Amino acid sequence: MTTPDRDAAAVPNRRVIGIDFGGTGTKGGIVDLDTGELVGERFRIPTPRPATPEKVAEVVEQIVAELQSRPEAPAPDSPVGIVFPAIIKEGVALSAANIDKSWIGTNVDALMTERLGRPVEALNDADAAGLAEAVYGAGQGVKGLVIVITLGTGIGSALILNGKLVPNAELGHLEIDGHDAETKASAAAREREDMPWKKWATTRLQRYFSHVEFLFSPNLFVVGGGVSKKAEKFLPFLELRTPVKVAELRNNAGIVGAALWAGIPHEPES
């Protein structure tokens, strides 16, 4: 599934609801697709336990109802975008990270469309953040390949080639030195091993980013995740040919990316 370069004339829904479904909380907001900014406040509900499809669908329905009741809401038949901590292909979840395993094989698009009575499109969470950064954030206007890496519990990744998303690039699972990369280079690994910032950067992150750089020769790296708020503690130690920028959208990236995915036409997966 790919997304064309953003074109204001091609945006049929200027405001779209985006939902960010996570392991601990599910949040939503109304996004202005002209600016990539949220219109009004986000609305959040704790993710139910267990986070089964039916229980999560109930939470999503509550969030959409709240947002739709606001005066700034989009048209009631406008699409809704939802991001998931899962590989999503043709609307179907192929994995489940920090959510109930019953999601695997579930057609998320169909489930949520039936529940909400309006079009719904699902997208992987890292892909959504990457798409948002490429269109509205640190990667805006960059030609060629932009790789967005999110450092957190694991390592998320998104590939954006000339403004188009190449979905489900699970670069956190590259095998490096006999290990799944995210088990050694994630922010959680640094905390778990109580590793100083400089050591983490010059050993684990350097090895990881150098490997990704060798494989893809990107035009830009964008680094996100909660740890990006402390980028000055580790990014200056990386020695790469590729420019590196800090993600700009932070906690809103998932919501914005979800809304963008639902609101702008894109080609179906082949």
Domain 15-127+254-263 and domain 141-247 have a common topology: yes
- Helices 125-136 and 253-263 cross at an angle (nearest 10°) of 80
Residue 13 has pLDDT above 90, yes or no: no
Place of tokens 């969470």: 125
| Residue 8 confidence (pLDDT) | 34
CA dist., res. 16 & res. 26, Å (int)? 17
Residue 9 has pLDDT above 90, yes or no: no
CA dist., res. 262 & res. 206, Å (int)? 35
- Of all helices (H) and strands (E), which one includes residue 129? helix 125-136
User: Left (φ > 0), alpha (ψ -120 to 50) or beta: where does 37 sit?
Assistant: beta
Contact 165, 186 (CB under 8 A): no
| Residue 267 confidence (pLDDT) | 63
Fill in the amino acid letter for 147. Answer: I
Contact 38, 29 (CB under 8 A): yes
Contact 251, 137 (CB under 8 A): no
**For 196-208, how does the pLDDT look when each residue is reduced to its tens digit (9 = 90+)?**
999 999 999 999 9
* Number of residues written out for the chain: 270
> 3-state DSSP call for residue 229?
helix
CA dist., res. 157 & res. 155, Å (int)? 7
Query: pTM of the prediction?
Result: 0.90
- Mean of pLDDT values over 166-187: 95
**For 206-237, how does the pLDDT look when each residue is reduced to its tens digit (9 = 90+)?**
999 999 999 999 999 999 998 999 999 999 99
- Of all helices (H) and strands (E), which one includes residue 114? helix 108-116
Pick the CATH number of 141-247 from 3.30.70.260, 2.60.120.260, 3.30.390.50, 3.30.420.40: 3.30.420.40
Contact 249, 36 (CB under 8 A): yes
pLDDT band for position 23 (cuts 50, 70, 90) = confident
Radius of gyration, CA atoms only, the chain: 18
pLDDT band for position 99 (cuts 50, 70, 90) = confident
pLDDT band for position 253 (cuts 50, 70, 90) = very high
What is 15-127+254-263's CATH topology? Nucleotidyltransferase; domain 5 (3.30.420)
| Residue 66 confidence (pLDDT) | 98
| Residue 5 confidence (pLDDT) | 44
Contact 47, 57 (CB under 8 A): no
The first and second tokens of residue 56, run together, are 């999560």
Residue 156 has pLDDT above 60, yes or no: yes
Q: What's the whole-number average pLDDT of the chain? A: 93
Could you state, in order of their start, the residue ranges of all structural domains in the chain?
Answer: 15-127+254-263, 141-247
